[in-house]
């Protein structure tokens, strides 16, 4: 019998446009693995809004933590957090910001969250279909408040998107999702949601947990404005708990 030849040896992983014999796009699967190794982000939809929390994972002592950004403002009413290759995420975040501004200039109104998510998902999908470029190695959580209320979406590296009540991405995705599935409730307030997210991260990261590494933001349905969670508030939260 001839030895089994791996898909890698046969070259099926050299292009994102080439299907393997069993119907897989290996470059896309590799991009998914990159996301699973990225720093953690989570999002929670609450009764009065939606929030994002992310671990900045400062790996060098001399880095200024404030220079690392994991939660971004897209428009007044939309925020996002990227997990995976953040250089890919930066390009997509800036594209989303541009789309939001173009919508305001063209239609004199704020873009709805779903339309923005679809545009970014379409861009991601294009890079799995055309040769000469690799897939984006990043998944993005989009949190927004519009006429549909508070919303949370995930755009996958494949170009597909899903809407969630609460979810997590990155290296701690599985244990964080397990905690959210047990403890999430639709009547949570923003404040309770922040406490839930921080406690979940504390349980998962254990001794490595550091409140100074957490970046976060929230949007309330009352004013539909993106607001960063202050470090003072997070430190106060740590003392209470």
Which residues does the annotation mark as catalytic?
A: 39
DSSP states of 32-91: HHHHHTSPPEEEEEETTEEEEEEE----STTS-GGG---EEEEETTEEEEEEE-HHHHHH
Per the document, the length of the chain is 241
171 DSSP 8-state letter = T
* Measured CA distances, 211 to 55, 136, 141, 173, 235 (Å): 9, 29, 21, 18, 7
CA dist., res. 99 & res. 126, Å (int): 17
Please tell me the distance from the alpha carbon of residue 10 to that of residue 20, in angstroms, as a whole number: 9
Q: Which among 98, 158, 90 is positioned nearest to 124, based on CA atoms?
A: 158
39 backbone dihedrals φ, ψ, rounded to 5°: -65, 150
The CA-to-CA distance between both ends of the chain, in Å, stands at: 63
């Amino acid at each position: 019998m001839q030895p089994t030849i791996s898909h890698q040896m046969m070259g099926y992983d050299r292009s994102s446009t080439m299907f393997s014999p069993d119907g897989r796009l290996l470059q896309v699967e590799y991009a998914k693995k990159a996301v699973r190794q990225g720093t953690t982000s989570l999002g929670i939809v609450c009764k009065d809004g939606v929030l994002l929390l992310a671990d900045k994972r400062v790996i060098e002592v001399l880095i200024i933590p404030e220079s690392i950004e994991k939660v971004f403002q897209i428009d007044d009413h939309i925020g996002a957090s990227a997990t995976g290759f953040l250089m890919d995420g930066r390009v997509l975040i800036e594209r989303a910001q541009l789309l939001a501004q173009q919508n305001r200039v063209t239609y004199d109104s704020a873009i709805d969250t779903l339309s923005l998510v679809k545009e970014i998902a379409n861009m991601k999908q294009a890079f799995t279909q055309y040769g000469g470029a690799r897939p984006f190695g990043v998944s993005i959580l989009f949190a927004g408040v519009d006429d549909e209320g508070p919303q949370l979406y995930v755009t996958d590296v494949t170009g597909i998107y899903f809407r969630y009540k609460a979810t997590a991405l990155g290296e701690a995705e599985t244990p964080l999702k397990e905690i959210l599935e047990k403890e999430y409730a639709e009547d949570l307030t923003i404040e309770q949601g922040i406490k839930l997210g921080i406690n979940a991260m504390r349980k998962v990261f254990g001794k490595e947990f550091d409140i100074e590494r957490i970046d976060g933001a929230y949007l309330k349905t009352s004013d539909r404005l993106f607001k960063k969670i202050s470090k003072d508030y997070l430190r106060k939260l740590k003392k209470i708990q």
